Amino acid sequence: MAKINFGGTVETVVTRKEFSLKRAQRALKKEVVAIIGYGVQGPAQALNMKDNGIKVIIGQSKAFPKDWARAVKDGWVPGKTLFEIEEAVERGTIIQMLVADAAMKVVWKIVKPRLTAGKALYFSHGFGYVYNQLTGVKPPADVDVILVAPKGSGTSVRRNFLSGVGINSSFAVAQNATGCALERVLAVGIGIGSGYLFPTTFEHEVTSDLVGERGVLMGALAGIMEAQYDVLRANGHSPSEAFNETVEELTQSLIRLVDENGMDWMYCNCSATAQRGALDWKPKFKKATLPVFKALYQAVKSQKEARRVMKSCGRPDYKKQLDKELAQIHESEMWRAGTAVRTLRPHEKARMNAATATGVKGRKGN
């Protein structure tokens, strides 16, 4: 394991240098990894491990025909590598619970009786295990309980793998019944294509994950974008201008600079006017949002958010309600403007290529 200084705090992480793919393949040579659920994370982790030479099977209920059909389309063969959940759990030695949190309670009743001694129960999110009073997930003492949580969606896990860069993941061991839980969890973490692995606990993972999703990663991001867009539109700016200054420039330019070398690097590559404004207004936004984040953290820590997830997502009409809420976002002027902007991107690239060929360079004014 490598010791890395993260902003003054030294952490121990695991990279592919310390735990190579060959070592992971050796560690998993006699294992059968059973992916339970072929929805969001399942396809990416399964395909990545398969491509890395690890024996993988899929457990997916035919009661969800779209997920079953997707598995077949991805090359999993019914009766050979694709099974109903019951049979997959019986055949597998590492059981990866990659079903939706709200479905955990139902699926656990199928999985638990088939968890024989020595198997490993794997999660990519601490929700089911930590909130066991809501989900019923209480593993027997004679199995390993491990976690690898990629810091990205299933789509990103697969895309990053195919591009050769991987995606960072956290890992944890909650039960070490066999004495090999750490080796197993690191092997699977490398097997799914993690860029590097950092240690956590199930409790810390689920808390930080729920806060992050509701905060900067999704909820806060969407809310701030909508607020800025609405103010610009209310003051006479066109949909195209409002969307480009709110979303397009962030996603297509600035966030990539943050990714490369950090927020200060992005500031350094913007105009002096942009720098000054950002530095002056950043504290105001922090002051305004800090109380919201504190309230969010407490809502997660008190399990209020977990109870809401189980109650809301477990309703028979949830999918219908979800589609309605997502449609409201999709049909809003802001995101309809976004659809129009995205259709113009290839034309813009063609225009810029043509301009470059004739010696004309595009420039963003200060």
Catalytic residues: 125
Say how far residue 90 (Cα) sits from the centre of its chain. Answer: 28
Residue 59 per-residue DSSP state: E
**C-beta of residue 144 within 8 angstroms of C-beta of residue 176:** yes
Residue 55 per-residue DSSP state: -
Residue 147 per-residue DSSP state: E
Amino acid at 188: V
**C-beta of residue 128 within 8 angstroms of C-beta of residue 136:** no
Residue 2 per-residue DSSP state: E
In three-state form (DSSP H/G/I as H, E/B as E, the rest C), the secondary structure along 159-175 is HHHHHCCCEEEEEEEEE
**C-beta of residue 92 within 8 angstroms of C-beta of residue 34:** yes
**C-beta of residue 121 within 8 angstroms of C-beta of residue 135:** no
Say how far residue 140 (Cα) sits from the centre of its chain. Answer: 28
Contacts by 164-169, CB closer than 8 A, 24 or more apart: 165/195, 166/16, 166/193, 166/194, 166/195, 166/196, 167/193, 167/194, 167/195, 168/194, 168/195, 168/196, 168/197, 168/198, 169/194, 169/195, 169/196, 169/197, 169/198
The strand ranges marked E within 219-338 are none
